[in-house]
Amino acid sequence: MNRGSNRHRFRSIGMTAVLYWALVAGTAGVAAETAAEMKIDLRESAGEVIVTADGKPFTQYVYAGHAKPILYPVIGPHGVPMTRNYPMVDGVDNEASDHPHHKSIWYTHDDVNGVKFWAEYDKNNQAVFGKIVQTNLKLQENEIHCENQWRSPDGEVVCSDSRVIGFGASPTHRIIDFAITLRATHGDAVFGDTKEGSMGIRTHPLLRLQDDKKRGNHTAKGQAVNSEGVEGKAMWGKRAKWVDYWAPIDGHTVGIAIMDHPSNPRHPTWWHARYYGLIAANPFGIHDFEKKPAGTGDMTIKAGESITFRYRFLLHSGDVHEANVAQQYDEFAK
């Protein structure tokens, strides 16, 4: 099941910036306001990589202090924060404090050879889950190149991955590209059939589709649609090339589109997309999504082999139409 290396499968933003921003300039609506590409800078600090766009905060890749690497904070167009602060920052008004393992933007899966990596603590606050530990890091222009080991609670290596995370920005858009190569470095790696995975984001609370006052969220203004025209809560468990959530935040309408590349195994992916702001592309959870027999969605990577998944986060001004999300997906899919 070897699908090739990141080097050949990941189309760097730096290599395609002129083409991409030419597309943005040629589209209608909010996206046509400017084609000015912003300068991306990466700087390594203690346990993190700080990413800026024209010297202003964009995001931080945090690889220490959590059970998995995360991107937090994530700042979109107009300086709007696009993800939930909790649990990195507690007590923020209008933020629900559920699911503390939903940390901004991340990649993991809840069943790899029976080891759980999605959650982080059980009901007794005990760390009985696996961890993803970075073993190598390199910065290259506007990209982070890193390698990680997926370790069981007793420290045994279950599998490994290589990631390339690329960044691009204009005043009306931000792009975060992931190319994740999962490697069966320590025997076969079985990614199990569960809805709890995989390429995830927990959005700003105003992007939620409905309030949850019991959990502290008293204002939700979000709307959502997928590439097949399915809207709102009905998107959960459906297959689609992309999903998009948008809402008015801090005086601007902004949104988040997540895109599944057509080269990905089992494209178009299923979406663990909830009303409360969790959005996750998950090609494994067929049992949960389609009520098929348990194990239907298992994916085995044979020892010594690998598979690669590519995803794009498009943080945009305007709604799904003003941002031309469908056309932006077509560009990503080339």
Q: Which two tokens stand for residue 293?
A: 């027999």
Across residues 262-288, what is the average pLDDT?
Answer: 97
- pLDDT value, residue 141: 96
Is the pTM here over 0.75, yes or no? yes
Q: Positive or negative CA dihedral for 207, 209, 215, 217?
A: positive
**pLDDT per residue as tens digits for the range 205-233:** 999 999 988 888 888 999 999 999 999 99
**pLDDT per residue as tens digits for the range 309-333:** 999 999 999 999 999 999 999 999 9
Pairing between β-strand 48-53 and β-strand 56-62 as defined by DSSP bridges: antiparallel
Across residues 236-246, what is the average pLDDT?
Answer: 99
Taking 80 as the threshold, does the pLDDT of residue 201 lie above it?
yes
**How far from 5 is each of 157, 185, 192, 323, 332, CA to CA, in Å?**
21, 14, 23, 31, 18
Which residues are paired to 317 by β-bridges? 254
Are 314 and 322 in contact, with CB atoms under 8 Å apart?
A: no
Taking 50 as the threshold, does the pLDDT of residue 294 lie above it?
yes
Rounded Cα–Cα distance for residues 105 and 200 (Å):
6
